Chain A
Amino acid sequence: MKGPGGVFTERRRPEGVERGPWDGSSVPSGRRSLLRGAAASFGAGLIPGVLRPAFGASPLKPVAEEDALVAFGHTGPITDGGWTTAHDLGVQAVRKAFPKLKTVFVESIPYSADATRIFRQFVAEGAQLVISTSNYGDFIKDVADRAPDVGFLECDGHTVTGNLGWYYITHWYASYIIGIAAGLMTKTNQLGYVGTFPIPSVYASANATLLGAQSVNPACTMRAIAINAWFDPQAATQAASALVDSGCDFLCGITDEPAYLRVAEARGIKAAMWNLGMRQFGPKAYVSSVTLDFSRFYVEQVRARLNGSWRAAPHFLTLSDGVDRDAWGETVPPNIAARADAMRERILSGYNPFRGPIRDNTGAIRVPEGTVMNDDAIYQWDWGVQGMTGLG
Chain B
Amino acid sequence: MTRFQRFPTAPARLVLAWRAAALVAAALIVGVLLALSGRDVFVLGELVLRSTVGSRFGLEDLALFMTPLVLTGAAVTVTSRIGLWNIGGEGQFYLGAIGAAGVGLYLPGPQIIVLPLMALAAIACGMAWIVVPTLARAYAGVSEIITTLLLNFVAGLLTYWLATGPWRDRVTGALASSGRISDAIPELWGVVHWGFPLSLAIAAGLAAIMTWTGWGYEVRVSGANPGAARYAGMPMRGRVIAVMLLSGALAALAGMFEVAGTVHRLQGGMADNFGYLGIVVAVLARRSCLAVIPAALLMALILDAGIVLQTQQLAATAVLAITGLVLLLIAIGDELAHYRPVAPASSTRSGAAA
Contact = CB atoms under 8 A, between A and B. Distances in A.
Nearest to B265: A138
Nearest to A136: B175
Contact of A117 (B55, B61, B171, B268): B61
B150 to A, nearest CB: 19
Interface in B66-122: none
Interface size bucket, A side? 35 or more
Contact of B312 (A104, A158, A200, A228): A104
B311 A137 contact: no
Contacts of B262: 113, 116
Contact of A112 (B165, B180, B267): B267
A198 interface: yes
B175 A392 contact: no
Contacts of B316: 77, 106-108
A128 to B, nearest CB: 15
A124 interface: yes
A118 B180 CA distance: 21
Given A104-B313, A117-B304, A50 B172 contact: yes
A76 to B, nearest CB: 10
A142 B264 CA distance: 11
B235 interface: no
Nearest to A135: B175
B266 to A, nearest CB: 12
Given A118-B310, A228-B160, A112 B263 contact: yes
Interface string A62-90: 00000000010000010000000000000
Nearest to B171: A49
Interface size bucket, B side? 35 or more
A197 B173 CA distance: 11
Given A105-B313, A118-B310, A226-B164, A197 B175 contact: yes
Interface in B168-222: 168, 170-177, 180, 191
Given A108-B316, A198-B164, A198-B168, A121 B311 contact: yes
Interface string A91-113: 00000000000001111101111
Contact of B307 (A104, A114, A228): A114
Nearest to B311: A121
A121 B180 contact: no
A159 interface: yes
Contact of B311 (A47, A114, A122, A226): A122
17 contacts: A107-B315, A107-B316, A110-B269, A111-B176, A112-B263, A116-B262, A118-B311, A121-B51, A124-B55, A137-B174, A146-B191, A197-B175, A198-B164, A198-B168, A199-B173, A226-B164, A382-B173
Interface of B: 47, 51, 55, 57-58, 61, 64-65, 160, 164-165, 168, 170-177, 180, 191, 258, 262-265, 267-272, 304, 307-308, 310-313, 315-316
Which 10 A-B residue pairings sit nearest by Cβ, starting from the closest?
A137-B174, A112-B272, A106-B310, A108-B316, A200-B173, A113-B262, A228-B160, A135-B175, A121-B311, A158-B172
Interface of A: 47, 49-50, 71, 77, 104-108, 110-114, 116-118, 120-122, 124-125, 135, 137-138, 142, 146, 158-159, 197-200, 226, 228, 380, 382, 392
